Amino acid sequence: MHKAKSSLSRLVKRASAGEEIVIASRGKPVAMLTRLPRRRNDLPWGVLKGKIRMKRGFDAPLDVLKDYL
């Protein structure tokens, strides 16, 4: 554990490269340092155009709210 604390930046750099690092305390594994999965932003704008339809008036005020509007 002490060794991991003193070299955390080096361990994070190794983990960000894809290595899985097991951290032990008194010889027993207690934690694992791994890279976070990448965010998926690969859907292009307009990919669902023409595939989703809303009913007419879906954004009309609800009758129960007329007194508050």
Please check whether residue 4 lies inside any domain of the structure: yes
pTM metric for this prediction: 0.51
Please check whether residue 14 lies inside any domain of the structure: yes
Please check whether residue 1 lies inside any domain of the structure: yes
Whether 33 and 15 have beta carbons less than 8 Å apart is answered as: yes
pLDDT tens, residue by residue, 8-59:
999 999 999 999 999 999 999 999 999 998 877 777 888 888 998 888 888 8
Helix, coil or strand: residue 11 = helix
The per-residue pLDDT for 57 is 86
The per-residue pLDDT for 23 is 93
The per-residue pLDDT for 44 is 84
Distance CA 30, CA 27 (A): 9
Please check whether residue 42 lies inside any domain of the structure: no
Helix, coil or strand: residue 51 = coil
Per the structure, the count of domains in the chain is 1
Helix, coil or strand: residue 57 = coil
Q: Which residue has the higher pLDDT, 65 or 14?
A: 14
Amino acid letter, residue 19:
E
